[in-house]
Structure 1
């Protein structure tokens, strides 16, 4: 399934995409909750009810008539791994950035989450705005101390992420959190593709285009730490909850590593594409004063 959070006539709901139609899930089955987080928390029986709804017996809207919001507007956690593609590590080393020999995780404050086609702010506080195309993993089961072998069963699905970064704020403190958490700097979507539709998350092609120019391109099998290792590592430390989002790393080609740097400017259009998952596209605008 492709699960969406959407607005129609000013009302937000959740649905699934079938062709070019969005099925309003709670309007079609009163036992399905009205938010994505509640749906993911409800477990397999409720998810099976959502899967069973067919167009002929559903309340539907044309995709063209709805606004797609972030599939999970309010995750409890949005975590991202740094330096998870070898060529990106080489970029960092060339810039004099020390790269640890273990997984490097940071927190993106959930207030940064925004929709797949919403505007992204060039902040008042900086002109060092950068992009990072990433595959996102959505946790589907509450879990702790998960082995890599058991990790696939913890995944609800996948989405597209752009880990928008403010490089000077990222570099000015020992943790990257501030430079990763500005408002609007967490566009995700356009939907959650459930795990049963992605045979292998490590066999996907991913691209970042800025104003139509290809800046990043990679296959996800080039990750240093794969998705299962990431879940095992994180769940050693903390309980992962349904709806948590994990951004699995960006490849080489970020604007800040270019010579000279190519930071984002007002009017730039960022488009992240992941084959089998979808695309998001966000225009850079000036932060409102």
Structure 2
């Protein structure tokens, strides 16, 4: 039988079959392996991760039993991989949360975390296109570790924060830098961060028990094969549990909520050449143990 003591990870994925059919929720035990079709095997299992998490811990137990039985498998070649989580209640992002990112801007490390948000409609999949909006000339990249909340979280202290996390995935926080200026939207970052397709996610949400230390993960971002960012989550100013606890004393975090935890140095706007994303560019974002995103920048139609 499958157990949490096994070294293989439970990687939750959303997908559709290429031939036909509705969205499904499945589990991979390793990247590029066949997908165990948990929602197709049991009608009681939701076909999306948000509803799966809202159903409580008993649903995770059910998924583990289905994985152990291995009844229904489908090849990755026969599916369209979707974002691993869609329609969360909220996406919360933290700014200046890597020391190296503060250093490249010559800014002090924040004593308290500060947050902004993205609309849930920004989410696209691990191979989805990033649309270059016609009203921006300064599109930038930011690879980030994303935290997926597993249950309702309110007024939680740091030593208990881990209990409320379900897992982790790779995120790309696309940013329209010219919309972060005071001359745009009165300096508010909402549109700079929330234009369509500005949040690629995936390819899977890895359950937390299969990540030995989320504060020791390498994260990289390459543009057209040229590495731009190469950092480690150990460089965070405020660690994951600090962020969850801080937020929980301000708002109620719900199952499926996403927290983007910041980015290391190497973004375009602070490079010597101030390189920005252009139509035709390929963004590759990767985090050790979690997976890789490959997103093409395309023009707006």
- Place the TM-score, normalised by the shorter chain, in its bin: over 0.9
Matched, 1:47 2:56: no
Please state how far the C-alpha of 1:175 moved relative to its aligned partner: 2.6
**2:141 corresponding residue in structure 1:** 131
Q: Is the 8 A contact 2:109 2:237 kept in 1?
A: no
Q: Is the 8 A contact 1:92 1:99 kept in 2?
A: no
**1:253 corresponding residue in structure 2:** 266
Please state how far the C-alpha of 1:103 moved relative to its aligned partner: 0.8
Which of 100, 104, 121 is 1:111 aligned to? 121
Which of 161, 168, 174 is 2:178 aligned to? 168
TM-score (norm 2): 0.91
**1:30 corresponding residue in structure 2:** 43
Please state how far the C-alpha of 1:99 moved relative to its aligned partner: 7.3
Distance 1:75 1:5 in 2: 14
**1:6 corresponding residue in structure 2:** 15
**1:149 corresponding residue in structure 2:** 159
Q: Is the 8 A contact 1:159 1:277 kept in 2?
A: yes
**1:64 corresponding residue in structure 2:** 77
Q: How does 1:263-278 map to 2 (within 5 A)?
A: 263-278=276-291
Name the SS for the 2:121 alignment partner.
helix
Distance 1:100 1:278 in 2: 29
**1:283 corresponding residue in structure 2:** 296
Q: Is the 8 A contact 2:269 2:275 kept in 1?
A: yes
Distance 1:174 1:123 in 2: 19
Q: Following TM superposition, where does structure 1 have runs of at least 4 consecutive aligned residues deviating by more than 6 angstroms?
A: none
Please state how far the C-alpha of 1:174 moved relative to its aligned partner: 3.2
Moved more, 10-19 or 103-112: 10-19
Distance 2:68 2:187 in 1: 51
**2:168 corresponding residue in structure 1:** 158
* Ranges in structure 2 where 5+ consecutive residues have no aligned partner: 1-9
Distance 1:106 1:147 in 2: 21
TM-score (norm 1): 0.95
Moved more, 78-87 or 26-35: 26-35
Q: Is the 8 A contact 2:91 2:120 kept in 1?
A: yes
Distance 1:281 1:239 in 2: 32
Q: Is the 8 A contact 1:116 1:188 kept in 2?
A: yes
Moved more, 22-31 or 155-164: 22-31
Q: Is the 8 A contact 1:93 1:99 kept in 2?
A: no
Name the SS for the 1:90 alignment partner.
helix
Name the SS for the 2:158 alignment partner.
coil
Which of 101, 110, 118 is 1:88 aligned to? 101
Moved more, 78-87 or 50-59: 50-59
Number of matched residues? Answer: 285
**2:190 corresponding residue in structure 1:** 177
Distance 1:17 1:130 in 2: 31
Distance 1:135 1:203 in 2: 11
Name the SS for the 1:146 alignment partner.
coil
* Ranges in structure 1 where 5+ consecutive residues have no aligned partner: none
Name the SS for the 2:36 alignment partner.
strand
Q: Is the 8 A contact 1:135 1:161 kept in 2?
A: yes
Please state how far the C-alpha of 1:12 moved relative to its aligned partner: 1.1
Could you give the per-residue CA deviations for residues 239-288 of structure 1, whole angstroms, max 9, x where no partner exists?
00000000000011000111221000111111111001111110100011
Please state how far the C-alpha of 1:59 moved relative to its aligned partner: 2.3
- Aligned-pair Cα RMSD in Å: 1.5
Please state how far the C-alpha of 1:51 moved relative to its aligned partner: 1.2
**2:202 corresponding residue in structure 1:** 189
Distance 2:109 2:288 in 1: 29
